[in-house]
Amino acid sequence: GHARIGLIGLGTMGAALASNIAEKGFDVAVFNRTTQVTRDFAENAGDLAPKITPTETLDDFVAALSSPRAIILMVPAGDPVDAQIEALRPLLDDDDLIIDCGNANFHDTDRRVDAHTGPFLGVGVSGGEEGARHGPSIMAGGDTEYWGRVEDIMTAIAAKHDGDPCAALMGPGGAGHFVKMVHNGIEYADMQMIAEVYGILRDGHGMDYDAIGDIFAAWNKGPLESYLIEISGKVAHARDVATGKPLLSVIVDAAGQKGTGRWTVIEAQHRLAPVPAIEAAVVARNLSARLQERAKGQSIFGAAPQAWDGLDHTTLEQGLMAGKILCYAQGFEMLSAATRDFGWDLPMARIAQIWREGCIIRSSMLDEMATALDAAPGVNLMFTDHFAAILKDTHGALRQVVAQAALNGHPVPALSSGLAYFDMMRTARGTADMIQGQRDFFGLHGFVHVNGTDDQHGPWAKEACD
Ligand code: NDP
């Protein structure tokens, strides 16, 4: 065969990715479980048709590829990936490479690499359909040698930031899917913080949707410039197709989720990596789905959010900036924990760089984060010179937002947990002395004395021995 690369799974993401690959000049063979989908894809390929080889059996697909083969899977994560690998391997040579570009759980990717059934890469792809078609952010995991075989294709199809491709090898095994998972966790928290500020504007300030959209549009020209702020403004301005009403007013406030935020939070706990803003965002989505219970709560206690004189928009903007920085600091700290626990060497600054374009959390602040993490490797983002200076200027605003929101009944779980994280992380002597005293009292767990001796006990230990 002559095709440089193959792709299985012509769904939303796969079709877009295959078109992107063909557009960049690489011959690509494609296969889809449902043959009609392959035929439709080939028929609608237009100018790209000469670069695309549609196939209707796995044998023909494999035969269409040049050796050693490289095959992208873009099928639903989980069992379909294992089933597809099982179906493919007997048809392949030992050295042929399978690349899972779906949203796999990184534990599954580790397992697939460890199974040693053949060369394997686990690659996280972010940016939705639009990204896949015109330039996603690509986070790869696996052996350097296998990455080297497809790096030219991956960098060609990736988003570019001033010409720098948003594609890189994160580390061995599941490292790519791990980084993609944390990306999604950060995405949850970033979205939640924006939604919390939207709530203050809507219910506290009593603003209409267009005015809220205008504020987000204005913020998108300042330090908060990002894809998520941009689309939040567009969503606020949008009208319902059926009724002509403001779109947000007709959307049921129950958030969906596919589980990557939950994976992040569970894995963060295993790593002892605090990501409270991400946890709050996952909890908020879960609570949002409890529509009947919330209605019952309102009937018993009365509606929580009260209108109030409000905060000026600059305070809200700065509060959101501080919250965002703290959320990203937590995400990067989780990546550091993985580096420590898994013996990886996750390239922090490079990760910030490849998130600057293509992916859902792309923002101008990520460019500053890349610079800060590059200058101070291993340092918590909130302690880097640049972001410490911004936090010094903005944490007062975050405090005002959280305090006023609390006093007026506006739930702001992500922003307030970001603030609690900030305050704990700048308190040299906290309150865990009481926790240790309690633990020693009921379980004789011992404590470290401020004089440096460890395994000390309170007076109750002596009583127990007497
Ligand atoms: P779609 O549902 O649009 O497409 C799924 C594709 O997989 C179809 O081609 C389908 O073939 C095929 N497929 C489904 N089940 C099987 C199976 N058991 N064996 C073989 N082929 C199968 O999914 P997406 O393109 O949205 O998602 C693909 C992957 O990309 C997922 O892991 C997803 O999480 C991830 N992803 C999605 C993003 C998005 O924005 N949508 C963003 C980033 C990642 P058939 O036509 O026969 O049904």
Residue 352 lies in a domain: yes
In whole angstroms, give the CA distance from residue 149 to residue 137.
18
For 247, phi then psi, to 5°, come to -55, -45
What is the value of pTM for the model shown? Answer: 0.96
In whole angstroms, give the CA distance from residue 35 to residue 54.
10
Residue 432 lies in a domain: no
Q: Are 161 and 219 part of one and the same domain?
A: no
101 C-alpha to center of ligand 1: Å?
10
Out of 153, 173, 193, pick the residue that ends a domain.
173
180 part of the active site = yes
49-82 in b/e form (b: 16+ CB < 10 A) is eebbbbbeebeebbebbeeebbbbbbbebeeebe
Out of 173, 197, 212, pick the residue that ends a domain.
173
Q: Are 250 and 392 part of one and the same domain?
A: yes
Q: Are 294 and 381 part of one and the same domain?
A: yes
Q: Are 12 and 65 part of one and the same domain?
A: yes
Residue 162 lies in a domain: yes
13 C-alpha to center of ligand 1: Å?
7
Residue nearest to atom 38 of ligand 1 (CA): 128
Point out the ligand 1 atom lying closest to the alpha carbon of residue 75. 7
Q: Are 242 and 316 part of one and the same domain?
A: yes
Are 129 and 12 a contacting pair, CB within 8 Å?
A: yes
Residue 429 lies in a domain: no
**For 181, what's the count of Cα atoms within 13 Å in the CB-facing half-sphere?**
26
DSSP letters spanning 398-448: HHHHHHHHHHTT---HHHHHHHHHHHHTT-SS-SHHHHHHHHHHHH---B-
Residue 199 lies in a domain: yes
Q: Are 43 and 152 part of one and the same domain?
A: yes
Residue of 169, 212, 167 whose CA lies nearest to 194: 212
* Residue 416: alpha-carbon gap to chain centroid: 20
Q: Are 271 and 400 part of one and the same domain?
A: yes
Residue 430 lies in a domain: no
130 C-alpha to center of ligand 1: Å?
15
187 part of the active site = yes
**Which two three-digit tokens encode residue 155?**
């960098």
Point out the ligand 1 atom lying closest to the alpha carbon of residue 10. 9
**Which two three-digit tokens encode residue 34?**
């449902």
Catalytic residue among 51, 180, 230, 357: 180
Structural domain for 215, as ranges: 180-424
In the three-class reduction of DSSP (H, G, I as helix; E, B as strand; rest coil), residue 265 is classed as helix
Q: Which of 7, 8, 10, 13 to mutate to test the pocket of ligand 1 (most atoms within 8 A of CB)?
A: 13
Residue 341 lies in a domain: yes
In whole angstroms, give the CA distance from residue 75 to residue 213.
36
Residue 98 lies in a domain: yes
Give the residues surrounding ligand 1 with Cβ less than 6 Å away: 9-14, 32-34, 37, 74-77, 80, 83-84, 102-103, 125, 128-129
Binding site membership for NADP(+): which residues? 9-14, 32-34, 75-77, 103
Q: How many CB atoms lie within 10 A of CB 7?
A: 26
Q: Are 407 and 441 part of one and the same domain?
A: no
Point out the ligand 1 atom lying closest to the alpha carbon of residue 77. 32
92 C-alpha to center of ligand 1: Å?
22
Catalytic residue among 56, 151, 160, 187: 187
Give the CATH number for residue 233: 1.10.1040.10
Q: Which of 33, 57, 184 to mutate to test the pocket of ligand 1 (most atoms within 8 A of CB)?
A: 33
Q: Are 364 and 255 part of one and the same domain?
A: yes
Binding site membership for substrate: which residues? 103, 126-128, 183-184, 188, 258, 285, 439, 445
Query: Directed axis angle between helix 276-288 and helix 260-270, to 10°?
Result: 140
**Which two three-digit tokens encode residue 385?**
């010179």
Q: Are 304 and 444 part of one and the same domain?
A: no
Q: Which of 32, 72, 75, 112 to mutate to test the pocket of ligand 1 (most atoms within 8 A of CB)?
A: 75
In whole angstroms, give the CA distance from residue 8 to residue 382.
42
Q: Are 337 and 302 part of one and the same domain?
A: yes
Flag whether the ipTM exceeds 0.90.
Answer: yes
Give the CATH number for residue 139: 3.40.50.720
Per-residue pLDDT of the chain (466 residues; tens, 9 = 90+): 899 999 999 999 999 999 999 999 999 999 999 999 999 999 999 999 999 999 999 999 999 999 999 999 999 999 999 999 999 999 999 999 999 999 999 999 999 999 989 999 999 999 999 999 999 999 999 999 999 999 999 999 999 999 999 999 999 999 999 999 999 999 999 999 999 999 999 999 999 999 999 999 999 999 999 999 999 999 999 999 999 999 999 999 999 999 999 999 999 999 999 999 999 999 999 999 999 999 999 999 998 888 887 789 999 999 999 999 999 999 999 999 999 999 999 999 999 999 999 999 999 999 999 999 999 999 999 999 999 999 999 999 999 999 999 999 999 999 999 999 999 999 999 999 999 999 999 999 999 999 999 999 999 987 655 5
177 C-alpha to center of ligand 1: Å?
16
Are 186 and 327 a contacting pair, CB within 8 Å?
A: yes
Residue nearest to atom 16 of ligand 1 (CA): 80
102 C-alpha to center of ligand 1: Å?
8
**What is the tally of structural domains in the chain?**
3
Q: Are 356 and 396 part of one and the same domain?
A: yes
392 C-alpha to center of ligand 1: Å?
45
Binding site membership: which residues? 9-14, 32-34, 75-77, 103, 126-128, 183-184, 188, 258, 285, 439, 445
